Amino acid sequence: MGIIWDRIQRCVEDIRKVTDFQPEAALVLGSGLGGFAARIQPEAQVSYGEIEGFPVSTVPGHEGRFLFGYVDGRPVAVMQGRVHYYEGYSMEDVVLPIRVLGALGAKELLLTNAAGGVNEALSPGDLMLLTGQITSFVPSPLIGPNENQLGPRFPDMTEVYSQTLRNRAKTAAEGLGAPLKEGVYLQTTGPSYETPEEIRMFRLLGADAVGMSTACEAMAARHMGLKVCGISCITNMVAGISSVPLTHQEVQKAADQAADRFQKLVWEYLRAQ
């Protein structure tokens, strides 16, 4: 048995002490989307602190718990709060919750986040469906001995973001009459925001949005064979486009302002199977 596999099983055991809920889909709530939890018909919840060895977020505004419940009758596991690489956790810790969701039985995963707009066609408040990602600026969460129970040594990453799930998100947005942009997400380690020079480089490389999460989670989920969808809330234009210095408060405020639209889209997406 692998070391990571055993660790995942111990987390699952701690959750199973509380609930035998079987999620079909899993959802990670990014900045500003935490309120989505209130829309779910709750069945059970487990604080990350109740799970032995589980990473707990140090960032204000990131609550830490799994919420299990129903979206229009569909069983969903929700991660309210995630940890980031910049907090000092290893990549193995950062993606542990995603692997636990896979081990609980989730077959598909929706990742949400707040991101900075690199492409000048984006504006603060836009919702952007992820069509692809660039992970080359963070360490791979798959480094280390491969554990075959999780997935293959050299997993294919041609279609990280499932075309089927992307279509579902687009249909949900059309149904709501809500605009949904599309683009490529690039993950940095953070915690500093980017320099204008880095942003010029990221744009040349094909990035439309930049953030400090998600891509490593998507990679770990694909390694396990989960289907993945990703949606960013563009909270700000990045350094070099925006003339005002960027603050976490501004990012949080913009995410809060978009929260209602974002929540409606996620709800429609989850109930359309």
**Least separation in angstroms between CB 114 and ligand HPA:** 4
Min separation Cβ 213 and ligand HPA, Å: 8
Q: Is 114 a catalytic residue?
A: yes
Considering only residues 82 through 111, tell me which ones interact with ligand HPA, judged by CB under 6 A.
Answer: none
Examine residue 262 and tell whether it contacts ligand HPA (CB under 6 A): no
Query: Residue 46 interacts with ligand HPA (CB under 6 A)?
Result: no
Q: Is 86 a catalytic residue?
A: yes
Cα–Cα distance list, 184 to 117, 138, 178, 255 (Å): 10, 16, 20, 19
Structure tokens at 183: 């683009």
**Cβ proximity to ligand HPA, 171 vs 189, nearer residue:** 189
Query: Cβ distance 235 to 115 under 8 Å?
Result: yes
Whether 47 is a known active-site residue: answer: no
Residue of 115, 142, 165, 216 that binds ligand HPA (CB under 6 A): 115
Name which of residues 212 to 241 contact ligand HPA (CB under 6 A): 212, 235-236, 238
Contact 251, 113 (CB under 8 A): no
- Here the tokens at position 227 are 């289907």
Q: How far is the CB of 34 from ligand HPA (least distance, A)?
A: 15
Distances, alpha carbon 59 to alpha carbons 62, 176, 203, 248, 252, in Å: 6, 32, 28, 10, 12
Annotated active-site residue in 37, 84, 162, 215: 84
Q: How far apart are the first and last CA of the chain?
A: 35
- Residue 114: closest CA among 252, 268, 270, 264: 252
Residue of minimal Cβ distance to ligand HPA: 116
* 116 in contact with ligand HPA (CB under 6 A): yes
> Residue 175 — φ and ψ, nearest 5°?
-60, -35
Report how many residues bind ligand HPA under the rule CB under 6 A. 13
Of 24, 44, 47, 86, the catalytic one is: 86
| CB 114 within 8 Å of CB 58 | no
Sites of contact with ligand HPA (CB under 6 A): 114-116, 193-194, 210-212, 235-236, 238, 246, 251
Supply the residues annotated as catalytic. 31, 62, 84, 86-87, 114, 212-213, 236, 248
